[in-house]
Structure 1
């Protein structure tokens, strides 16, 4: 009887945990579905707000009016807007992004050709930001804890604020002028050898690294005041063990949240940076498509960018829930 009665609370706790996780999954799935629908609707509506005739832009100003009208009818642009919207959603659910008006290629092929370049530069930039920000922020927390080294703290805070405030586009132009034009150390544009990645990655990574390092420092300062860190010090553990094993892992929860948001911002920031460096990714593709009023290509690229940001946020939410299950019950 005692064994059975002891198992009942455990079963109830297990059922409660399953219910909490199920509720979390339903909330996140619902939020994702609604966000995707809003994204699809916004991308469809946005491109139709842009003035001008995409068919005329694709065929040229001297194309006969009969040819223009026939092309518009073939693309479904003469249908009512609600029919175009339904056709757009139907094509997406069947895996079709349409055909580019300017190149005649399937939009899915254009995306598959250009997406790796964007993922590379954004991924390397995120990795560089984390590798720089985490040790820098943690080191500054150790150096300035308890109000020590005020000048060092002021210099770090001022510098990080300045770099975080510079837009990626302006930073990219400055890096090109200094390292490519003035000194000639690095290529101005294009995607070639490893050296061609340095400037685009730096332009995307410097601002987020500055923001992330400040977050790491603040979280690390709070953790260093915790009781378990004081206990570790009282045990005469080596400082490096205290900082790396006990303090730093507990300071990275908020860092993970901010890092996920920064990764989404980096993906969006590639639009401007890629155009500065003539990088053959989706960022430069979407600008060219907007100029050419290429409806299907703009919609496809916008959808990929939006889905990328949504998936990053979803992964961050799941990771935070795994690292800190108590956050599931706090959401309500």
Structure 2
């Protein structure tokens, strides 16, 4: 009976190891765990690598020595470094990010209050970027295929390069001046109603949309020259069916990859854009915390940003595996 059980277990193990999806999940899990550990360790070392005493910097040079010592003991900064590291990992596993040295509030509370505003801004900007870039790139590929409409192609390329190169905060400043100051169409600061989302979302979305539109155009041009598209044309399929059903699904893979990476970048880009528009999110909070030398809050927000980028990369990998298994699942 025991030999039979061992044989069945061995067969099951062989089947699992031969399964491409299982190998894919194992590889991604190892990479994710290693990346998370590096992120946690880097965030921990951030406070200890900064010159000076963070408690003294937060309380001010005039603070009594007794108050500084008591605060250091309360935060556990007098313990050995290895002990602080273990306590830090233990607190994170329990969902505790520490306490703000300025306000005395739990860092988790500060993040919970500000994170939804940042997440909304990044997600809306991502959706707008994809909604603009995919149809624009597809349309430009169809219109400029085979060297046609050279002026239109030049105008599209120049405009997309310009918006892709200009930093988000400069785009935001330009939008504030044009639509907020000169035209007075939408609010230029704060988070109060749907109108207040227009300018910060556009400031974040225009650059990624320009990059994605260029990639979408290039990929679509390559797809339109493929043999199966020529076969579909020979069958006299309607243009709408040809482009949307045959060309679009096969040209969107690279766009999805870059879009996922840009989503992670959008979360980080909110730091500057939020300060331009006085947006009450993590971006403005981390700048205020840096200026106030509130390092526990800075550390917690850095962790949230880093974990967000890692999660986005994981979702992109899984999405690519579903769209094109040959490109990811069967890699060595």
Q: Do structure 1's residue 210 and structure 2's residue 213 form an aligned pair?
A: no
1:298 aligns with 2:298: yes
Q: Is the 8 A contact 1:54 1:292 kept in 2?
A: no
Alignment partner, residue 278 of structure 1: 278
**1:16 CA drift (Å):** 7.9
4+ residue segments displaced more than 6 Å? none
- Are 2:53 and 1:42 equivalent residues in the alignment? no
CA–CA distance in 2 between the matches of 1:163 and 1:215?
14
Q: Which runs of 5+ in 2 are unaligned?
A: 1-10
In terms of mean alpha carbon deviation, does 37-46 or 137-146 score higher?
Answer: 37-46
Q: CA deviation at 1:79?
A: 2.3
More deviation in 256-265 or 172-181? 172-181
Contact 1:260/1:312, CA 8 A, preserved across alignment? yes
1:312 matched residue in structure 2 = 312
Distance 2:47 2:145 in 1: 52
- Which residue of 1 is the match for residue 179 of structure 2? 179
When residues 233 and 200 of structure 1 are mapped into structure 2, their CA distance, relative to the original with a 3 A threshold, is: same
The match for 1:228 is: 228
TM-score by length of structure 1 reads 0.92
* 3-state SS, counterpart of residue 284 of structure 2: helix
Matched, 1:20 2:15: no
Q: Which runs of 5+ in 1 are unaligned?
A: 1-10
Secondary structure in 2 aligned to 1:313? helix
CA drift at 1:86: 2.0
| C-alpha RMSD of matched pairs (Å) | 1.9
Alignment match, 1:125: 125
Question: Residue 331 of structure 1 aligns to a residue in which SS?
Answer: coil
Q: Give the TM-score of the pair, scaled to structure 2.
A: 0.92
The 5 Å alignment of 1:66-77 reads 66-77=66-77
**321-330 or 289-298, which deviates more:** 321-330
- What's the counterpart of residue 190 of structure 2? 190
User: Does the aligned pair in 1 maintain the 2:20–2:330 contact within 8 Å?
Assistant: no
Number of aligned residue pairs: give it. Answer: 321
2:4 match: none
Once the 2 structures are TM-superposed, how far is the Cα of residue 63 of structure 1 from its aligned partner? 2.0
Say if 2:107 and 2:297, in contact at 8 Å, map to a contact too. Answer: yes
Answer yes or no: is the 8 Å Cα contact 1:47–1:298 preserved in 2: no
| 1:134-168 residue CA offsets vs partner (Å, 9 max, x unmatched) | 01000000001111111111111111001100011
Is 2:21–2:329's contact at 8 Å kept on the other side of the alignment? no
